[in-house]
């Protein structure tokens, strides 16, 4: 059986891929210019026309699209086709601000299924697998995105959606499920509940996780792998582009981008200047084959690094690093930029700690200050408050040493931090108070 779902695309040489992208971008720029008044005006404001796009480097002359443009044009102002051709409408889960719309043509849905089939295949999923889909079904793109990818491969799908965790485990056990799709924090919730129920997931046939939809560190990945006895794979995506399936992890845990559908750039989030491969910045994506709502140079606000390196998996598709976080979630504490994921990695260095934590950010005079509330392993609590306080102090010391800021860490009671069934909320912002 092939290692690739679509070998031709996944191992295409760079020159061929660039030629393909050039052609698709030319078509798409023309498509939006002629059909979407917002883009016609945005191009005119920048003094560019679709014909000015002659090489991939020319894309830099074209305007960005930002989340607010989608909100201002809610619900269908950025839709390039008549409603007659739209067959599905998703909306973002609205982690930040108002929801945004995602319309699809039949071909867009077909392309999405194809991207998700590549994703799952690369994660190690095959036709014989039984896949439990614990991503939320509904407006959120996670559930149906996974569903259609698995359908394309021909897996047996158990469409549990998220929630009802004990039932998830009963079905996982009874049906001999081999693949779990979920957010990484929901996977942790499932693992924890199993341990409570006295069910050892490591003894079950489950062998692969396909996780995504929120930032998670390598430390969390390793923790899930250990607690579930699986390979914890990943996909990245966003409603604005399509949903999950923009990029996916290969056996080397590299995140390859489906470059024949998404053209990627990295910019400095402050100056908007383009950054070269290998430098960290904000990911900017253009959907180059979408027809209902192809966004041009969409600023994802997700912080990552692009790398064009030979991957041992044989894929030539460009790869991106694991997302450090959303630019919106970056905190500035004592002049130091901090992402929640950095704190997560440091907490996870302590074997006494659970992967459940909250960051509380508040105003201290004119400055922002941060405290960490985190849970320790259940058995540590019997050792008394002094032990817990000493553990909190050790974590704070480690954060100080690694990032250079003083962040008091409080070990809070076991199970006091809400367990996630979808995207976890890690930051409580009290600055407005």
Size of the residue set binding ligand ADP (CB under 6 A)? 18
CA atoms within 13 A of residue 401's CA, in its CB half-sphere? 8
* Alpha-carbon span 345 to 351, nearest angstrom: 12
Residue with tokens 């799908």: 157
**DSSP character string of 324-347:** -EEGGG-EEETTEEE-HHHHHHHH
Question: Using the rule CB under 6 A, which residue among 94, 154, 404, 413 binds ligand ADP?
Answer: 94
- Least distance between ligand ADP and beta carbon 257 (Å): 12
Residue with tokens 């760079």: 14
**Within positions 137 to 196, which residues make up the interface with ligand ADP, using CB under 6 A?**
140
Residue 236 engages ligand ADP in binding (rule: CB under 6 A): yes
CB nearer ligand ADP, residue 97 or residue 154: 97
Residue 306 engages ligand ADP in binding (rule: CB under 6 A): no
326's contact among ligand ADP, Zn ion, none, with CB below 5 to 8 A by partner kind, is ligand ADP
Contact 431, 361 (CB under 8 A): yes
Choose the stretch contacting Zn ion; rule: CB under 5 A; options: 20-28, 95-103, 180-188, 313-321.
313-321
CB nearer ligand ADP, residue 290 or residue 395: 290
Residue 92 engages ligand ADP in binding (rule: CB under 6 A): yes
215's contact among ligand ADP, Zn ion, none, with CB below 5 to 8 A by partner kind, is ligand ADP
Name which of 95, 92, 76 is nearest 84 in CA terms. Answer: 76
The helix/strand/coil state of 251 is: coil
146's contact among Zn ion, ligand ADP, none, with CB below 5 to 8 A by partner kind, is none
92's contact among Zn ion, ligand ADP, none, with CB below 5 to 8 A by partner kind, is ligand ADP
Residue 58: count other Cβ atoms within 10 Å of its Cβ.
15
Residue 302 engages ligand ADP in binding (rule: CB under 6 A): yes
Question: Using the rule CB under 5 A, which residue among 213, 250, 295, 424 binds Zn ion?
Answer: 250
Residue 52 engages Zn ion in binding (rule: CB under 5 A): no
Buried b (16+ CB within 10 A) or exposed e, 371-405: bbbbbbeeebeeeeeeebeebbeebbebbeeebeb
Contact 46, 80 (CB under 8 A): no
139's contact among ligand ADP, Zn ion, none, with CB below 5 to 8 A by partner kind, is none
Contact 321, 304 (CB under 8 A): yes
Question: Using the rule CB under 6 A, which residue among 326, 403, 424, 426 binds ligand ADP?
Answer: 326
Phi, psi of 369 (to 5 degrees): -125, 160
| Contact set with ligand ADP (CB under 6 A) | 92-95, 140, 212-215, 234, 236-239, 300, 302, 323, 326
| Contact set with Zn ion (CB under 5 A) | 250, 252, 254, 311, 313, 315
């Amino acid at each position: 059986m092939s290692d690739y779902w679509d070998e031709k695309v996944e191992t295409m040489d760079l020159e061929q891929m660039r030629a393909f992208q050039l052609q698709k971008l030319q078509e798409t720029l023309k498509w939006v210019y002629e059909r979407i008044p917002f883009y016609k005006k945005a191009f005119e404001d920048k003094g560019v026309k679709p014909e000015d796009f002659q090489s991939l480097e020319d894309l830099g002359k074209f305007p960005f699209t930002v989340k607010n443009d989608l909100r201002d044009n809610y619900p269908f102002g950025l839709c390039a086709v008549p409603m007659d051709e739209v067959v599905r409408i998703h909306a973002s889960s609205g982690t930040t601000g108002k929801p945004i719309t995602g319309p699809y043509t039949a071909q867009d849905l077909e392309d999405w299924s194809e991207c998700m089939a590549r994703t799952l295949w690369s994660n190690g999923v095959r036709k014989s697998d039984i896949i439990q889909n614990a991503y939320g079904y509904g407006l959120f793109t996670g559930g149906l995105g996974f569903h259609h990818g698995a359908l394309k491969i021909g897996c047996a799908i158990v469409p549990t959606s998220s929630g009802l965790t004990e039932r998830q485990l009963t079905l996982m056990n009874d049906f001999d499920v081999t693949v779990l799709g979920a957010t990484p924090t929901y996977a942790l919730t499932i693992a924890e509940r199993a341990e409570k129920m006295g069910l050892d997931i490591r003894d079950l046939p489950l062998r692969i996780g396909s996780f995504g939809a929120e930032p998670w560190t390598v430390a969390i990945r390793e923790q899930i792998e250990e607690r579930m006895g699986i390979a914890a794979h990943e996909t990245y995506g966003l409603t604005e582009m399509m949903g999950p399936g923009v990029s996916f992890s290969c056996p080397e845990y590299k995140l390859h981008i489906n470059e024949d559908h998404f053209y990627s750039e990295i910019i400095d989030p402050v100056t908007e200047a383009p950054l070269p491969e290998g430098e960290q910045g904000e990911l900017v994506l253009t959907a180059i084959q979408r027809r209902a709502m192809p966004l041009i140079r969409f600023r994802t606000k997700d912080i990552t690094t692009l790398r064009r390196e030979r991957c041992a998996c044989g894929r030539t598709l460009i790869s991106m690093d694991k997302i450090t976080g959303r630019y919106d979630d970056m905190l500035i504490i004592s002049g130091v930029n901090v992402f929640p994921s950095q704190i997560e990695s440091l907490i996870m260095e302590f074997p006494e700690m659970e992967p459940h934590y909250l960051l509380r950010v508040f105003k201290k005079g004119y400055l922002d200050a941060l405290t960490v509330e985190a849970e320790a392993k259940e058995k540590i609590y019997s050792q008394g408050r002094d032990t817990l306080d000493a553990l909190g102090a050790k974590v704070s010391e480690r954060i100080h040493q690694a990032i250079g800021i003083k962040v008091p860490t409080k070990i809070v009671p076991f199970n006091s931090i809400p367990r996630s069934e979808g995207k976890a909320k890690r930051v409580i912002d009290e600055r407005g108070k």
